[in-house]
Amino acid sequence: MKETNIGLDGELYKGKVYFSVEWYKKLTDNMLYALPLPPNAGYSTPFFTNIGSVEGKGVDILVGYKDKVGKVSYDVTATAGFNTNKVTNLDGIATAVLYDGQNYYNNGNATYGAMQGHPLTITQNGQPFGEFYGYKVLGIFQTDAQAAAATDQPGAHAGDLIYYHNAKNGSTVGTKDEMPIGNPNPKLVYGVTVRVNYSNFDLTALFTGVAGVKLFNGVKVYEQHPFESDASVSPIALKDSYFGSNGLTSQPRMGFTNPNGSYTDDPNGNYSNPSTYFVENGSYVKLKNLQIGYSFSSAAMERIKIRSARIFVMGNNLLKITKYSGLDPEVGSAYSQAATSGYVGTSVGVTTRGLDAVSQYPQARIYSAGIDVNF
């Protein structure tokens, strides 16, 4: 690993204003990655190997201000991190491409769930780690006539997604039209910490957030479409185009009833194809932590031979502001699957970030209280 850092720290106005700025560039060689083995290897567990290199660079900034007004003292600190990463080499990978990510149930059971057999991320030379991978959606067919005129999507009807098609890839939409469709790596990670003290009372609040990031809402598939004939869905599915007495809505249709009364499920792949329809803005601001405390006076504590005592109440994940339609935009890494070779892995890593799949759980809201005593 090679890393270059240039930083500047300083204070102004007798220490009331303080700051730190750091620029860095890091090249990581021989990255450790879990590569699944093909079935004929006779060993299903992925093996760890060193492959390729990645370049990361960015700027970290910290700015703070502290002062006192009467009996009130306060300290406000803001941090911001701007980072980009780019894969510069994938040694040992025959295709120079890593496909990963899954939206199945049971940690990689490719026979039970939505989008079976489809990788959800791609990692390749010259691009960021784990970009989402699928079809670019241009809209929804408004009428059957419009759909019939789209000869590159034969059999499409009103309510179906319109996929981008490159004529160089053939006469109809196919897997060659799949492409990177979103970057799960945020352009900006930031936070603000506020500390206030008044007499024996203290308050600390921590706000965190990210901006310039995309999330793959895999749960949206299960909300709007029954992936099994006996599967239950959320009431959101009732808003699908041409469901019951619905006309065209903002949600794609599930399928259609044939003249003979039989039902054809999702013939256009609206819910079985990964696409930009499921990629959303993942930016958010959260009140991550709020704590209020009271410290007893030293004089009172000395009488009972206690050096210090403080009681507090605290809450975590109290507030979030986001446009993301899922439960929680604070998404980590999901289970992976190597779909290109027909095997399924169970690793969790940097190539599956931002996948809000069925294996993810939202951050819990927690309330607590306590007492700190020093003898």
Residue-wise pLDDT for 358-369, tens only, equals 777 888 999 999
CA dihedral of 137, 138, 142, 148, whole degrees rounded to 10:
-90
How far from 340 is each of 38, 92, 97, 98, 125, CA to CA, in Å? 10, 16, 10, 9, 17
| Predicted local confidence at residue 345, as pLDDT | 37
CA 269/CA 275 separation, integer angstroms? 10
Domain total in the chain:
1
pLDDT exceeds 90 at position 172? yes
- For residues 351 and 121, is the Cβ–Cβ distance under 8 A? yes
User: What is the rounded average pLDDT of the residues 143-157?
Assistant: 95
| Predicted local confidence at residue 106, as pLDDT | 61
User: What is the rounded average pLDDT of the residues 333-351?
Assistant: 50
Query: Minimal CA–CA distance to 363: which of 324, 319, 311, 313?
Result: 319
CA 132/CA 280 separation, integer angstroms? 11
Q: Which domain holds residue 299?
A: 2-135+178-225+271-374
User: What is the rounded average pLDDT of the residues 115-127?
Assistant: 88
Please give the share of the chain, as a percent, with pLDDT higher than 70.
Answer: 87
In a domain, 241, yes or no: no
| Predicted local confidence at residue 217, as pLDDT | 95
* 79's tokens: 């941090």
In a domain, 108, yes or no: yes
CA 50/CA 39 separation, integer angstroms? 21
In a domain, 162, yes or no: no
- Of 38-47, 124-133, 238-247, the poorest mean pLDDT is in 38-47
In a domain, 247, yes or no: no
Q: Over the stretch 298-339, which tens digit does the pLDDT of each residue have?
A: 776 677 777 788 999 999 999 999 999 999 999 876 655 543
In a domain, 101, yes or no: yes
| Predicted local confidence at residue 102, as pLDDT | 84
User: What is the rounded average pLDDT of the residues 181-203?
Assistant: 96
| Predicted local confidence at residue 338, as pLDDT | 44
**Which spans in 105-187 are helix H?**
144-149
Its sign, for the CA torsion 214, 219, 225, 228, is positive
| Predicted local confidence at residue 304, as pLDDT | 73
203 Cβ contact list (under 8 Å, min separation 6): 194, 195, 196, 197, 290, 291, 292, 293
| Predicted local confidence at residue 40, as pLDDT | 67
Read off the pTM: 0.87
- Highest mean pLDDT: which range of 121-135, 152-166, 292-306, 356-370: 152-166
In a domain, 160, yes or no: no
In a domain, 358, yes or no: yes
In a domain, 172, yes or no: no
> What is the rounded average pLDDT for all residues in the chain?
87
pLDDT exceeds 80 at position 222? yes
